[in-house]
Amino acid sequence: MPADHELLSDELVQAVESIAEAFAARSVRHALIGGLATSMRGRPRYTQDVDFLLEVPQIALPALLDDLVERGFALDPAVVVKGFVQHHMTAFSFGPVRIDWLKPVLPLYSRVLADAEPLVWSQGHSVRVATAEGLILTKMVAFRNQDQQDVETLLTANRDDIDVDLIREEWSPFAATEAERTAWLEAAIAKRVVRRE
């Protein structure tokens, strides 16, 4: 379900379209995650930032960043490269819109990236978006209050067809060390997901 464009600024829509075109032109594996992706897979909510999980060879980063600068993104290529390579995350902007990039360093992020699907969301434009299961996994890693609300929203909106076994399987490496989060997740699933006979 596409995000409700009335809740999105023109700059945010343009940022997503431009960055998706740049990724497509360079065959960059990516997945939209975060609040905007949750709006597409759950229910619309206001957001003013764009989060991407992406896999791009370090050698290809400078040309991609040059392309983004030409498209109107404000960034310092050296700072973006350093953040992405050394800290596995980086941020820059498109007008008032913050763009966050995250490298798939955890195995579950690799699964999220692999399972992402293209969604048409604006005037025929498409962007690869993490599945509901993938979004739940990324939000379980972050686990802030908004992430917990988003997990509940995603479970409710996709209750009839969400693959809880996949979520449990990908989350299992964290289950022992994150017992509280795991218990919270199981309670959320039990409350919101239709059981199949």
* CA 37-59-68 angle, 5° bins: 45
The first and second tokens of residue 124, run together, are 């025929």
The domains found in the chain, sorted by start residue, are 5-131 (3.30.460.40), 136-192 (no CATH)
Taking CA atoms, 50 is separated from 10, 90, 93, 146, in Å, by: 13, 12, 9, 15
Q: Would the pLDDT of 7 be above 60? A: no
- Confirm if 101 and 90 have CB atoms less than 8 A apart: yes
User: Cβ-count burial of 51 within 10 angstroms (0-12 exposed, 13-18 middle, 19+ buried)?
Assistant: buried
> What is the structure's pLDDT at 150?
96
C-alpha distance across the termini of the chain, in Å = 27
- Confirm if 97 and 50 have CB atoms less than 8 A apart: yes
> What is the structure's pLDDT at 103?
97
Task: Select the more confidently predicted residue: 47 or 84.
Answer: 84
Confidence label for 2 from pLDDT (cuts 50, 70 and 90): very low
**pLDDT, averaged across the chain:** 92
CA-based radius of gyration for the chain: 17
DSSP state of 74: B
Q: Which residues, other chains included, contact 44 with Cβ-Cβ below 8 Å and sequence gap of 6+?
A: 3, 4, 7
Q: Would the pLDDT of 3 be above 70? A: no
- Confirm if 102 and 80 have CB atoms less than 8 A apart: no
The DSSP-derived string for 105-128 is: -SHHHHHHHHH-EEEEEETTEEEE
Q: Would the pLDDT of 117 be above 60? A: yes
Strand order in the sheet with 125-129: 89-94, 97-102, 49-55, 29-33, 125-129, 117-122
Mean pLDDT of 156-171: 96
> What is the structure's pLDDT at 44?
82
